[in-house]
Amino acid sequence: MNTVFQDYALFPHMSVGENVEYGLRVKGVGREERRRKASEALETVRLAGYEARRPSQLSGGQQQRVALGRALVNHPRVLLLDEPLGALDLKLRKQMQLELKRIQHEVGITFVHVTHDQEEAMTMADAIAVMNQGRIEQLGPPQELYERPSTAFVAGFLGVSNLLRGAVEGTDAVRLDSGELVRAQIDGHSGRVAAGVRPEKITLGAGGGSNELAGTISESAYIGVATQVVVRTAAGTVQVFAQNIDSGGRVPAPGTNVILTWAPESTFVVAGDQPIAEEEAA
């Protein structure tokens, strides 16, 4: 088992090659074999030819690759990564997410990756464990946790969720506290619950599904790929991500009355007595 630390922990007085060789040297591996294996590890992390440089001569992303190569050179069965991308800027972090995923598939060992970045977890993981106060709330593939969170904490931690309080009515519906009936996948719940729907699943206007909720737009913000719209309804405040397929020109202005619609299959249910996650609690 090896570790990639959050601050990389490279030896500043050693060259890149010496840093990568270090674990092999501790094991007593001969010089020629150390250099060969270090070169192979650097090639894996796309730093071939950087052996003679010092860590101070590298960018943050390159230093992260050296730390990864140093951990991989020993061919561990499990690699622990402690928020290894936290020190990188947003653009480089996204590039390194895909690079780490490529390397993991190439070397074929288990990566245990600790992160507070939900998008990073969903981008990289085959399985995610969402933890709350030392306890696993839910474990499963990213799509399962996002589309069918089992608790309000998971729903609020992985992305944005609209949770509407109410009670189960029949086998496939929730009667909201405001009186509206919302069709949903009940998944064995009963009594007090919260019906959840992701902002991107909601359509502004009729025709987006059989669930409807009337409200008034209180504010909106253009965020590039979508316009984030906040709608006040009798059931509570609802966020909508309206995709900007037409440059965002069709989103009504604040103060406009709208009908929100979404499909029953986009509606999940969690127990109604659970607190909603806050990012700092994760």
- Listed by start position, the domains of the chain span 2-126, 161-281
Residue of higher predicted confidence among 9 and 281 = 9
**Class of CATH domain 161-281:** mainly beta
**Do 240 and 202 meet the contact criterion of CB atoms below 8 Å apart?**
yes
**Residue 58 pLDDT > 60, yes or no?**
yes
Structure tokens at 82: 């402690």
Tell me how far apart the alpha carbons of residues 229 and 222 are, in angstroms, rounded to a whole number: 9
Look at the block and give the residue holding tokens 């949770």.
Answer: 163
Length of the chain: 282
Query: Does residue 172 have a pLDDT over 50?
Result: yes
Quote the distance between the C-alpha of residue 22 and its chain's center.
Answer: 33
User: Would the pLDDT of 194 be above 70?
Assistant: yes
CATH of 2-126, one of 3.40.50.300, 3.40.50.2300, 3.30.30.60, 3.40.50.150: 3.40.50.300
> DSSP assignment, residue 56?
G
Tokens of 224: 């590039």
> CB-side exposure of 221: number of CA atoms within 13 Å?
4
Beta bridge pairs of residue 61: none
Beta-strand relationship, 78-82 and 110-114: parallel
Average pLDDT value for residue range 4-28: 91
pLDDT(35) > 50: yes
The 10s digit of each residue's pLDDT in 210-243 is 899 999 999 999 888 899 999 999 999 999 999 8
Any idea which of 29-38, 118-127, 240-249, 260-269 has the lowest mean pLDDT?
240-249
**Per-residue pLDDT, 279:** 40
Q: How confident is the model at residue 200 (pLDDT cuts 50, 70, 90)?
A: very high
